[in-house]
Amino acid sequence: TNVTYDRITYWVSKGRRLGLKAAFLTVGGDRFKAAEFEYGNTLRSPGGAFPFVSRMTIRDETGAGTVTRITFEEPRAETHPTAMFNINNVLR
């Protein structure tokens, strides 16, 4: 199986039920990358309004010191056919 990371450890807030941070590990169990999540957005859908990620900061843990910041703006709920999420439909 081809996977990007062998294992991901994910910290979730019990009270808010939101992901706080994640550690991405190699096959040997070493931390490869770490991510932190900020929640400044609100996603509105027929089911209600929910906190949504506004920024994800990913840090290289191998010593390179690189940092990637992904900013999410104006999230919106959309409906997609379930076939879109079937791995057998992905072109390689």
Q: What is the pTM of this model?
A: 0.77
Q: What angle do CA 76, 47, 16 make, to 5 degrees?
A: 85
pLDDT, one tens digit per residue, over 35-84 is 999 999 999 888 899 999 999 999 999 888 899 999 999 998 888 998 88
CA distances from 78 to 47, 48, 62 (A): 12, 14, 37
Rounded distance between C-alpha atoms, residue 82 and residue 58, angstroms: 30
19, 49, 80, 91: CA torsion to nearest 10: -20
User: Above 80 in pLDDT, residue 92?
Assistant: no
User: Above 90 in pLDDT, residue 89?
Assistant: no
- Return the CA Rg of the chain: 16
